[in-house]
Amino acid sequence: MQLTGNLLIGARDVGASEGTMKALNPATNQPIEPAFALGGPTEVDRAATLADEAFDAYSHTSLAVRAAFLEHIADNLDRVRETLAARAALETGLPQAQLEDEALKATTQFRQFADVVRKGRFLQLAIDPEQPERQPRPRMDHRLQKIAIGPVAIFGASNFPIAYSVAGGDTASALAAGATVILKAHNAHPGASEIQARAIREAVQACGLPEGVFSMVRGSGNAIGEALVDHPLIKAVTFTGSEQGGMALYRRAQLRTDPIPVFAEMTSVNPTFILPQALAERGAQIGDGFVERMLVNVGQACLKPAILVAIEGTGFEALRHAMSKRVSEAPARTMLTPGIHAAYLSGLCAIENAGARLVAVGSTSTAEVDGRSALFEVDGQRFLAEPLLSQEVFGPSALLVKVRDEAELLRVARSFKGQLSATLHLEQDDLPLARRLLPPLERRTGRIVVNAFAHPQEVCFATVHGGPFPATSDSRFTSVGMTSIERFLRPVAYQGFPDALLPEPLRDGNPLGLPRLVDGH
């Protein structure tokens, strides 16, 4: 595919109004052709106007048409998978084979959401029939369905250039809900973003949908993101990235004349707790597996297990040795951007300055933005005294926390802020302690894993990728999985409507055969 570098505003290719940029190959620190257009508030306004004009028609498409559209996007992505992965590899330093798997995950999500749309459960249809004879006051007919919230702005993530980017789960779930989408492409992978955006736009055109269903913009600095959040036609925002960036968008959205939701997925250290019997029986195995998962994506994953907590005792030395061995043998690998690499080095210094001891390091870096793995250790008392030690370091490092007893382990668990996940490794004899751990962990995370690791995550109906602040800005929702569609929906009740005027899913006789709650049954 020939890359043009243009912005895609509805059906139009739009050139630069705010200068251009080139992608950077982080492995060589060299720019990659072509130049990519940068836009600003003018392009945002055009995209938002088109999205608003398209919304009424698109949100009222039949479920069959919308599902077919999502499947068409998946087919288009399948056709460009190899090209997309190759370009993403150039722009991120990640292996092409890994990125082809990520592209397959993206197409799978679009097909999964097509199935969600066809089955219609996301509409949450409810009917309370009229009761004209009810005393002391008759009841009118009430019917409810969920509808799309409006045009939404989606900020592409840096660390997964496909599955959390232009063709990621946010886009798939928003389009499935019936929302129109303006995608702000991440500047770390502009070529991969254009390939994905063209696949989506072609599906819009092939399915005969209004051009404003999808647009992709790009800009330098914060101005274009601020313009998206500020635009009065935008009704929701999604963001995956740092706590600083997510909260800046959140606060800005609350200062609007009409505040809107910002669904920000921000920071998590995904703590792992090894309980005593599991430590005695499997300490080395767990330690090796922990570091293996920590190193995925060069430690640049939101579900990276970053902190491991264990009681000093039988199996602890084997655990430390296995972790140290795996870390010391890990080759340095290219990180996503020079900025992320610089922040990683700063984070390592901060951990050491806060009192953690460096236990092991990986092989020496050979390129400018190579991430060298590191393992630190600290005792529970110091960990509890220094909040900085529980902060996320985005990159291939981990912290081993050695606690004295069960009481200190529980205090450490209670010290964590909101997390995307927490993990317990346990055996039968550990169940009493596990039961004591569960309540504090339930209050602090959206997902608890037993005898496995938080990464990778299955994308399904029971998936939860969310948690209390600062993991996310709204713990009531997940940003991954089939129920992530709920972020883009709101309820509407229809009272006293003639059948012919009702939305088709709510009409008498249930013409679409969808699941409905009727008079509470």
- Verify whether residue 349 is a known catalytic residue: no
212, 52 Cβ separation under 8 angstroms? yes
| Alpha-helical segments (H) within 159-272 | 169-177, 190-206, 223-230, 243-254
Query: Right CATH number for 272-450 from 3.40.1380.20, 3.30.300.30, 1.10.3720.10, 3.40.309.10?
Result: 3.40.309.10
Beta carbons within 10 angstroms of residue 376's beta carbon: 22
pLDDT digits (tens, 9 = 90+) for 267-290: 999 999 999 999 999 999 999 999
- Using only C-alpha atoms, what is the Rg of the chain? 25
Query: Predicted confidence band at 238 (pLDDT cuts at 50, 70, 90)?
Result: very high
Beta carbons within 10 angstroms of residue 255's beta carbon: 9
Q: Is 112 helix (H, G, I), strand (E, B) or coil?
A: helix
Rounded alpha-carbon distances, angstroms, from residue 339 to 346, 413, 446? 11, 31, 29
Whether residue 367 has pLDDT greater than 90: no
Instruction: Look over the chain and give the mean of its residue pLDDT values, rounded to a whole number.
Output: 97
Mean pLDDT of 363-372: 88
Instruction: Find the catalytic residue in 100, 102, 302, 377.
Output: 302
Instruction: Give the pLDDT confidence score for residue 25 in this predicted structure.
Output: 95
Question: What is the number of residues in the chain?
Answer: 521
Integer Cα distance of 105 and 114 in angstroms: 14
Peptide bond into 136 cis (omega under 30): yes
Query: Predicted confidence band at 365 (pLDDT cuts at 50, 70, 90)?
Result: confident
Whether residue 4 has pLDDT greater than 90: yes
Q: Do domains 44-131+139-266+472-492 and 272-450 have the same CATH topology?
A: no
CATH topology for 44-131+139-266+472-492 is: Aldehyde Dehydrogenase; Chain A, domain 1 (3.40.605)
Peptide bond into 232 cis (omega under 30): no
Instruction: Find the catalytic residue in 265, 377, 392, 408.
Output: 265
pLDDT digits (tens, 9 = 90+) for 373-411: 999 999 999 999 999 999 999 999 999 999 999 999 999
Instruction: Give the pLDDT confidence score for residue 118 in this predicted structure.
Output: 98
- Between residues 158 and 175, the one the model is more confident about: 175
Q: Write down the domain spans for the chain.
A: 44-131+139-266+472-492, 272-450
pLDDT digits (tens, 9 = 90+) for 177-235: 999 999 999 999 999 999 999 999 999 999 999 999 999 999 998 999 999 999 999 99
pLDDT digits (tens, 9 = 90+) for 463-477: 999 999 999 999 999
Peptide bond into 338 cis (omega under 30): no
Whether residue 1 has pLDDT greater than 80: no
pLDDT digits (tens, 9 = 90+) for 107-148: 999 999 999 999 999 999 999 999 999 999 999 999 999 999
Beta carbons within 10 angstroms of residue 161's beta carbon: 33
From the list 393, 82, 342, 338, the residue with the least C-alpha distance to 187 is 338
Whether residue 299 has pLDDT greater than 90: yes
- Verify whether residue 392 is a known catalytic residue: no
261, 297 Cβ separation under 8 angstroms? no
Mean pLDDT of 229-249: 97
Residue 449: phi, psi to the nearest 5? -115, 140
Instruction: Give the pLDDT confidence score for residue 259 in this predicted structure.
Output: 98
- DSSP per residue over 5-21, as a string? --EEETTEEE--SS-EE
